[in-house]
Amino acid sequence: MPVVQISPEFTIDSVYNNLDDYNFGLMIDQSLAEELELTDTPGIKLIPSQTCLTTVISSEGAGHIMASMLHDAVNYMEDNGMKMCGNAWGSTIGSYSEGNIHKRYHEIYIPIEFIR
């Protein structure tokens, strides 16, 4: 696993309203951040352990991932008595190239709470 990974983030509003908004940041495991004494780095954000729905989305070529790609996950949550309780975030877990086709895969964690 790389020390630092690209990490997309989607707000609750952007996911529920099928917007194209997203932010990219960098992600590092908390224990490694502590070991490297990065925990006081300006702008660092700790994401606590929480119950999440996990999904994978992908982008192809110059196309970008978008919050609207989580629409199926929102439908699944609604059908199963869940709702988002925090911003969705994830990590880029791989890429695939064949000829002129290049795809990137992103594992997305959607913090949830049960409403039923």
pLDDT digits (tens, 9 = 90+) for 43-56: 888 888 999 999 99
The whole-model pTM stands at 0.87
- Residue 91 has which token pair? 């990590």
User: 69: Cβ–Cβ under 8 A, 6 or more apart, which residues?
Assistant: 57
End-to-end Cα spacing for the chain: 37
Burial of 62 (0-12, 13-18, 19+ CB in 10 A): exposed
27 vs 108, residue with greater confidence: 108
- 2 has pLDDT over 80: no
Q: Which residue has the tokens 């795809």?
A: 103
